[in-house]
Chain A
């Protein structure tokens, strides 16, 4: 699992009617790395993630997953290859949090026998053990996000795609979720995370991809990519980039008059 290339995007463009959402994005996503995708609102981050999940078909260019065209995969094959956490997580009817996590095992029914321990482990790692008996619909936004994250962990796929997993989370759980994501990458998985918090992205990601206006503006190690000039140009706001005294990773602060 380590070493190889998960996704390969070649000149990917995505249009909806007249609007061009993504243009000419070429990107390799290797196993064993945590890639953070950052960029302003409406830059095309979620569309890029939609292309990776297979929800959106690119208008031009090609997407290969492990060397095979993405659209040649069956729904079941994809479900065993990549887990996806979306921004909004709602559940119709009063399923318990445990049942929701258990649904993450659905792609593996009949294929593997280790459901129960994987579910327990996912629940523990996402820190939702105290919520298992509660109805999902009765949980707070942050609790829903963590239970849904546990569902993705239980799916146990070699690729994990997370769309703003930290949006509704408090400080500690933001750190926890990204540390878990980094842990997955350390164990050989390919992890892609869309995040808004640039310092958070820089602290945990092996690589950062900056998207603006539908283009891939830069991609590389956080220290190399996240320069004050580039971030100011992309976000159109003055910033100061500091270096974390402990890790040396960039910290992005807006300049406030």
Chain B
């Protein structure tokens, strides 16, 4: 929905934010694909990308090694970072809409850890029932179960108290942490290592087939979320008033929970737990564009992708010849931000409970 007095102004503002984020994202992709143990110039990256879509330029790299590094290692990783960041941010925005609470986020309330338990179970127990999709499907199942659990515990009389939500998150995270520990204890050394990797989160070793799974599932989930955007706006009036305006509230919530579990589950399945993205990005977008769900979802998608592309770039290059788990980075930034968010809302009259 457009702002009242000057819709033109808000449309312009939206366009500027979309464009700026898109440019930032494109620059991040070129930069991230270029930097690393084998430095590749940005124009070579661009040339290689252009060649892939059939446009031949003098920029295109002639060295086969560069071409292979780009297409087998760097690009899948960059695209994975983009997709995961985008999906986690959109998942956060959707969750905040259905809880009516800006603190709701897959990592904070424990959905990510639930998904990680599902993924870890498939490794330790060696499950392969669904082939290469097994880990993703179990992560989705774990995410879905935790979302439903959090939703049913934290809501009372159609409202979600911030305190209850956070307390539920603590309980869920503690339980999921124990379950993960148990799976590590029961598993062999190889699965232990894999599970540790999940807890920290990393884009390392992303390959195209995995990227494809994330892209397909993510596209469906994001499309559904965008279709529901207007109803999310109405939901902020409260359940009863939203229903009076024609929203089928329970159905909207159930669909949204599945969407959140899909996005979180598929993201967590391949890169592990990356907390706070779904909290930080929608919040920044709201400060820039206001709370309207449609622009919030689009800008969160772009912004989340951008944030993780740069975060992954930092993770790869900050410590020479070492790949820092990206989850550490986002938590290092996200933790203080979360703290600031709590302080700020407490200063404002009424807070958000």
Residues of chain A whose beta carbon lies under 8 Å from any beta carbon of chain B? 53, 55, 75-76, 78-80, 82-84, 86, 89-100, 102-104, 106-107, 109, 132-133, 137, 155
Identify which of B144-152, B205-213, B242-250 touches chain A. Answer: B242-250
By the criterion CB–CB under 8 Å, are B245 and A133 in contact?
no
Determine how close the nearest CB of chain B comes to the CB of A119; give it in whole angstroms.
Answer: 9
- Known contacts A103-B233, A107-B246, A155-B245, A98 near B4 by CB under 8 Å: yes
Closest to A98 in B: B4
Q: Which of A84, A96, A107 is within 8 Å of B3, CB to CB?
A: A96
Top 10 nearest A-B pairs (CB, nearest first) are: A98-B4, A79-B246, A93-B291, A92-B100, A92-B236, A84-B244, A76-B246, A132-B4, A107-B246, A75-B246
> B1 — which chain A residues lie within 8 A by C-beta?
99, 102-103
B317 at the interface (CB under 8 A from A): no
Closest to A137 in B: B350
Residues of chain B whose beta carbon lies under 8 Å from any beta carbon of chain A? 1-5, 100-102, 230, 233-238, 240-241, 243-248, 286, 290-292, 350, 352
Q: CA A98 – CA B248 in complex, angstroms?
A: 24
Q: CA A93 – CA B234 in complex, angstroms?
A: 11
Q: Which of A83, A98, A104, A155 is within 8 Å of B5, CB to CB?
A: A98
Determine how close the nearest CB of chain A comes to the CB of B8; give it in whole angstroms.
Answer: 13
Q: Which of B102, B244, B248 is within 8 Å of A83, CB to CB?
A: B244
Q: CA A137 – CA B246 in complex, angstroms?
A: 23
By the criterion CB–CB under 8 Å, are B234 and A98 in contact?
no
Which of A55, A80, A93, A94 has the most C-beta atoms of chain B within 10 angstroms of its own C-beta?
A: A93
Determine how close the nearest CB of chain A comes to the CB of B121; give it in whole angstroms.
Answer: 35
By the criterion CB–CB under 8 Å, are B245 and A91 in contact?
no
Closest to B100 in A: A92
By the criterion CB–CB under 8 Å, are A92 and B101 in contact?
yes
By the criterion CB–CB under 8 Å, are A96 and B4 in contact?
yes
> A53 — which chain B residues lie within 8 A by C-beta?
244
> B3 — which chain A residues lie within 8 A by C-beta?
96, 98-99, 133
> A84 — which chain B residues lie within 8 A by C-beta?
240-241, 244
Which of B101, B238, B243, B246 has the most C-beta atoms of chain A within 10 angstroms of its own C-beta?
A: B246
Determine how close the nearest CB of chain B comes to the CB of A75; give it in whole angstroms.
Answer: 5
Q: Name 24 interchain pairs, CB-CB below 8 A, sorted by A.
A: A53-B244, A55-B240, A55-B243, A75-B246, A76-B246, A78-B244, A78-B246, A86-B238, A86-B240, A90-B238, A91-B236, A91-B237, A92-B236, A92-B238, A95-B236, A99-B3, A102-B4, A103-B1, A103-B233, A104-B245, A106-B230, A106-B245, A133-B3, A155-B245
> B246 — which chain A residues lie within 8 A by C-beta?
75-76, 78-80, 106-107
> A97 — which chain B residues lie within 8 A by C-beta?
4
Q: Which of A78, A106, A137 is within 8 Å of B234, CB to CB?
A: A106
Determine how close the nearest CB of chain A comes to the CB of B88; give it in whole angstroms.
Answer: 20
> A100 — which chain B residues lie within 8 A by C-beta?
237
Closest to B248 in A: A75
Closest to A108 in B: B246
Q: CA A209 – CA B196 in complex, angstroms?
A: 68
Q: Which of B233, B248, B286 is within 8 Å of A94, CB to CB?
A: B286
By the criterion CB–CB under 8 Å, are A93 and B286 in contact?
yes
Which of B5, B233, B235 has the most C-beta atoms of chain A within 10 angstroms of its own C-beta?
A: B233
By the criterion CB–CB under 8 Å, are B230 and A99 in contact?
no
Closest to B99 in A: A92
- Known contacts A79-B246, A106-B245, A133 near B4 by CB under 8 Å: yes
Determine how close the nearest CB of chain B comes to the CB of A46; give it in whole angstroms.
Answer: 11
Q: Which of A79, A89, A90 is within 8 Å of B245, CB to CB?
A: A79
Determine how close the nearest CB of chain B comes to the CB of A50; give it in whole angstroms.
Answer: 9
Q: CA A176 – CA B1 in complex, angstroms?
A: 29
Closest to A88 in B: B238
Determine how close the nearest CB of chain B comes to the CB of A193; give it in whole angstroms.
Answer: 16
Q: CA A138 – CA B225 in complex, angstroms?
A: 28
Determine how close the nearest CB of chain B comes to the CB of A28; give it in whole angstroms.
Answer: 22
Determine how close the nearest CB of chain A comes to the CB of B158; give it in whole angstroms.
Answer: 11
Q: Which of B243, B247, B291 is within 8 Å of A95, CB to CB?
A: B291
By the criterion CB–CB under 8 Å, are B245 and A103 in contact?
yes
- Known contacts A98-B4, A102-B1, A86 near B241 by CB under 8 Å: yes
> A98 — which chain B residues lie within 8 A by C-beta?
3-5
Q: CA A94 – CA B350 in complex, angstroms?
A: 13
> B230 — which chain A residues lie within 8 A by C-beta?
106, 109
Q: CA A103 – CA B78 in complex, angstroms?
A: 39
- Known contacts A86-B241, A106-B234, A132-B5, A95 near B248 by CB under 8 Å: no
> A86 — which chain B residues lie within 8 A by C-beta?
238, 240-241
Q: CA A94 – CA B61 in complex, angstroms?
A: 50
Q: CA A89 – CA B242 in complex, angstroms?
A: 11
Q: CA A27 – CA B241 in complex, angstroms?
A: 25
By the criterion CB–CB under 8 Å, are B290 and A94 in contact?
yes
Determine how close the nearest CB of chain A comes to the CB of B81; give it in whole angstroms.
Answer: 28
Q: CA A132 – CA B3 in complex, angstroms?
A: 9
Determine how close the nearest CB of chain A comes to the CB of B163; give it in whole angstroms.
Answer: 16
> A79 — which chain B residues lie within 8 A by C-beta?
244-246
Which of B245, B292, B350 has the most C-beta atoms of chain A within 10 angstroms of its own C-beta?
A: B245
Determine how close the nearest CB of chain A comes to the CB of B262; give it in whole angstroms.
Answer: 24
